[in-house]
Structure 1
């Protein structure tokens, strides 16, 4: 455990987690437009999204650290780092499209790229350390749920964007 916290990549990973969380949170504007949308009956309460994302980001950071502590090749490290940076960008972009630009149609298209970035991280981590790949599964599941929620919101609110 001591080695885990002394790892030289800890700050980079923590910076990714904090930056993505803060920027995503800043892009999420729950204003009149959002509250006017008809939501699917199965939508989780708004307060739960912050809890879910916090858990996902912690699990993602742990997965990244575990994979880096498992002696990946420099190429694998570069791929993981690139994919997490790309994932953070796509994560924030989804919030920008949905909440700031009020285009759930654009965010749904973009969500496929976000989903693909999570899957790519899992596939790159799999040969390095399977537990790291498994820790990313809640993220993949949540993005899948978010895509379904995004779709249902589009169906229930034609012309609201």
Structure 2
């Protein structure tokens, strides 16, 4: 498969996952439950989340296109499927079901999956390309801290 075809595929899947996650949030950040939580003082304003996830999914889709063009396997597709599932289900678990501890487990699991990509796929062809994962890793570290704060202070 060519790079452009992979890129289109991953853009559709990743942004589709974001959209599905948004649908599962049950009004998410605007819901009374979330508004009444004790949130971390470093919680960014709402618009930052949309901007961050747009940047993250663009970078991640480009990274995946290079990765899958270099090495496409059943295991790699499975890992990607796990990543999409964790990314989508966190919204439902945290915002819709208000299960903050399970949400924390899910977001930490997602961080581990993205770290796995970063650490294990570093062939010469991907050395600089894997830097495209940094926005995702940084954002997940922030998300883990925000989720952990909610767990501890509510």
Interval containing the TM-score (normalised by the shorter chain): 0.7 to 0.9
Kindly report the root-mean-square deviation, in angstroms, between the aligned alpha carbons of the 2 structures: 1.8
1:67 pairs with 2:67: yes
Q: Distance in 2 between matches of 1:95 and 1:9?
A: 26
2:135 is paired with a residue of what secondary structure? Answer: helix
Q: Shift of residue 81 of structure 1?
A: 2.6
* Equivalences for residues 147-158 of structure 1 within 5 A: 147-157=144-154
Corresponding residue for 1:42?
Answer: 42
Deviations, residues 56-114 of structure 1 (Å, cap 9, x unaligned): 00000010112234x33x43xx3333222211100111111110101111101122211
* Equivalences for residues 69-108 of structure 1 within 5 A: 69=69, 71-72=70-71, 74-75=72-73, 78-108=74-104
Note the residue ranges of structure 2 that are not aligned, 5 or more in a row. none
Note the residue ranges of structure 1 that are not aligned, 5 or more in a row. none
Q: TM-score, normalising length from structure 1? A: 0.83
CA contact (8 A) 2:7 2:62 kept: no
Q: Which has the larger radius of gyration?
A: 1
Aligned residues: 149
Q: TM-score, normalising length from structure 2? A: 0.86
Deviations, residues 5-42 of structure 1 (Å, cap 9, x unaligned): 3xx32332122112211112112323110111121211
Corresponding residue for 1:32?
Answer: 32
Q: Which of 132-141 and 56-65 deviates more?
A: 132-141
